[in-house]
Structure 1
Amino acid sequence: MNRFFNELIDTHVKIEDWIGQGKGDLEALLSRFDRNFTMISINGHKLDYLTLEAFFQNNCGTKDGIKIVMDKMEILAEWSQGALVSYVERQILPHNIETLRHSTVLLTLEGDEVLWRHLHETPASE
């Protein structure tokens, strides 16, 4: 598996641990995101790095038992400083409450580190 797919999986495991179990290191999680990070959320809101940081601070352990499953990862474009990757993300909460989204993420390279620069999520159905 390539480093971009590994980054996606590793970050989602850390997010799942943080919001689902209240486990992990917030600074280590946030270090995966570029300080100029932006995001269009599943409900259409535009977020920046500070909003993301506040979200994680306020949601430690708030979604007990959440599982995040990633599928259909595809590199749309790749160049020497990063890649544009699409994937399908399923979030599963206890009692079979699920959300499905198509996501596209711009990942950049800073030395050996892969950083999240922009994420766009769109609600999806089966």
Structure 2
Amino acid sequence: MTHPAFKEVLDAHVAIEQWLSGAAPATELDALMARFSAQFSMINLPGQIVDYQGLQQLFAHAHGQRAGLQISIDELQVIGEGPRLCVVSYREWQVDNAGNRSLRRSTAVFERHNGALRWRHLHETTVAG
């Protein structure tokens, strides 16, 4: 059985891939941001903390900037969960038409809100080599 958080990780990355590659129309920003809690925080690859508004600005400026982007997710694991929160880890591969490639491991905290899972916190780490 697939965990609901796994489905959200996969579905969100499809939406992010489409947004960054430009396959999604610019009118989809609100739908993309609806996946994230208003209290969202992220520790990005350089170690900076990004809040909800910062993520929204990042997405607004990055629309269509990664032509041909493909994102693959694997190694999904539930780290822990309770009535309000669920913690998941996964591995993420990215490649685009410019030849940019990256591999990262991420840990995401989801909050349950009105029957849906919202991204509450994300910590990304580059996998070297």
| Range class of TM-score, shorter chain | over 0.9
Any conservation in 2 of the 1:22–1:60 contact (CA below 8 Å)? no
Q: Which residue of 1 aligns with 2:76?
A: 73
Shift of 1:52: 0.2
Shift of 1:101: 0.5
For 1:62 and 1:107, the matched residues in 2 are separated by: 27
Mind listing any 5+ residue stretches in structure 2 that lack a counterpart?
none
For 2:99 and 2:75, the matched residues in 1 are separated by: 21
RMSD: 1.2
Q: TM-score scaled by structure 2?
A: 0.93
Shift of 1:95: 5.0
Mind listing any 5+ residue stretches in structure 1 that lack a counterpart?
none
Q: Which residue of 2 aligns with 1:15?
A: 16
Shift of 1:22: 4.4
Pairing 1:1-126 to 2, within 5 Å after superposition: 1-24=2-25, 25-94=28-97, 96-125=99-128
Query: How many corresponding residue pairs?
Result: 126
Shift of 1:43: 1.1
For 1:66 and 1:43, the matched residues in 2 are separated by: 21
In terms of mean alpha carbon deviation, does 89-98 or 32-41 score higher? 89-98
**Identity score, percent:** 33
Shift of 1:39: 0.3
